[in-house]
């Protein structure tokens, strides 16, 4: 009963706030790609180049669709804050993978006589982001077009599958997937990680209530499995070789296209509350 009363109170407060303020609601489709893991993501085996299969190469990214929704509240005519819920889908393939330390680790499910495969491998990563956002509206290009810069930061929940492109190899080697975290392939939860970044974008005004939205962003995420392959350091301690799990960062890019709906506040409560887009049209709500 107490929880229901708290929820009701929160709803009433949000409703009262919405009547007095301009709120902007965004819904967008997005597409993202994995760019790289900066620096040295793992201490490689000293013979990596020699032991790697001929013609081995890193993953080639593939384009996939994701989605995001956001609630934004203008603070001034040039600045607004928001909360964004983003679903990102990343994937890629390599016809011949380089010698990742994962293949040398005891967590590699392949048989001992075939630890390093030369078949085409793929990864599929799903990330659910909860982000705080900030936008600075820079300048209007035309009467209805305004550029902005965007900053975002929050928590990413990362799930990934790393496996063979052709399922017959998974069946033949009886491995299912080579590695999995936070997907239907295992029972482990998604990996929580810090994420943040920024970018540029623009809005195109259709009416007082509707804008077309576009942005491009770069993000860094503190996770070593965004590209599907967990990182391990190859170490030699007191003359003995060891493989030790490590973490790192991943850089991704994303483009988003969507629409913004702006609520019209209660004129009796707030007659001077308007957004940057409307400043140039003298539309005071």
**Residue 9 belongs to a domain:** no
- Write out the DSSP string of the chain: -HHHHHHHHHHHHHHHHHHHS--EEEEEEEEEEEEE--S-SS---TTHHHHSPTT---PEEE--EEEEEEEEEESSSSEEEEEEEEEEEEEEEESS----GGGGSTT--S-GGG-S--S-EEEEEEEEEEEEEEEEEEEEEETTEEEEEEEEEEEEEEEEEEEESSHHHHHHTT-S-SEEESSTTSSPPPEEEEEEEEEEEEEEESSSSEEEEEEEEEEEES-S-TTS---EEEEEETTEEEEEE----EEEEEEEEEEEEEPPP-TTT-SS---HHHHTTT---
pLDDT of the residue at 5 = 55
- Dihedral of alpha carbons 261, 262, 266, 268, sign: negative
Residue 193 to residue 212: CA distance in whole angstroms: 31
pLDDT of the residue at 3 = 46
Tally of domains within the chain: 1
**Residue 11 belongs to a domain:** no
Contact at 8 Å (CB) between 203 and 215? no
Look up the domain containing 39 and give its range: 24-279
Q: Which two tokens stand for residue 184?
A: 């239907």
With a cut of 50, list the residues of the chain below it in pLDDT.
1, 3-4, 7, 11-12, 14-15, 18-19, 267-276, 278-285
**Residue 36 belongs to a domain:** yes
**Residue 285 belongs to a domain:** no
Q: Find the Cα–Cα–Cα–Cα dihedral 98, 101, 104, 110, rounded to 10°.
A: -60
**Residue 14 belongs to a domain:** no
- Name 9's Cβ contacts closer than 8 Å, sequence gap at least 6: none
**Residue 18 belongs to a domain:** no
**Residue 16 belongs to a domain:** no
Residue in 153, 61, 79, 166 with CA at minimum distance from that of residue 117: 166
End-to-end Cα spacing for the chain: 39
Enter the pTM of the model: 0.84
**Residue 284 belongs to a domain:** no
Residue in 124, 120, 119, 117 with CA at minimum distance from that of residue 100: 117
């Amino acid at each position: 009963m107490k929880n229901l009363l708290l929820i009701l109170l929160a709803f009433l407060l949000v409703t009262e706030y919405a009547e007095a303020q301009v709120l902007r609601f965004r819904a967008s489709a997005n597409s993202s790609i994995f760019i790289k893991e900066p620096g040295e993501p793992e201490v490689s085996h000293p013979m990596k180049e020699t032991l790697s299969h001929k013609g081995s190469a890193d993953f080639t990214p593939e384009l996939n669709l994701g989605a995001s929704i956001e609630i934004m509240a203008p603070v001034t005519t040039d600045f607004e804050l928001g909360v964004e819920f983003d679903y990102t889908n990343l994937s890629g393939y390599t016809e011949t993978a380089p010698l990742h330390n994962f293949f040398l680790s005891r967590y590699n499910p392949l048989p001992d006589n075939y630890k390093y495969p030369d078949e085409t491998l793929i990864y599929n990563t799903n990330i659910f982001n909860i982000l705080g956002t900030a936008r600075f509206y820079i300048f209007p290009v035309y009467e209805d077009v305004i550029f902005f810069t965007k900053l975002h930061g929050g928590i990413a929940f990362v799930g990934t599958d790393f496996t063979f492109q052709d399922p017959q190899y998974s069946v033949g080697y009886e491995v299912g997937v080579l590695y999995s975290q936070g997907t239907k392939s295992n029972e482990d939860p998604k990996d929580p990680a810090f994420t943040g970044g920024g970018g540029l974008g623009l809005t195109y005004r259709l009416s007082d209530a509707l804008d077309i939205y576009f942005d491009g962003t770069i993000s860094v995420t503190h996770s070593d499995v965004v590209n599907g392959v967990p990182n391990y350091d190859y170490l030699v301690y007191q003359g003995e070789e060891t493989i030790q799990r490590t973490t790192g960062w991943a850089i991704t890019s994303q483009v988003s296209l969507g629409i913004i709906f702006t609520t019209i506040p209660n004129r009796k409560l707030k007659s001077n509350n308007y957004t940057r887009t409307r400043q140039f049209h003298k539309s005071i709500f």
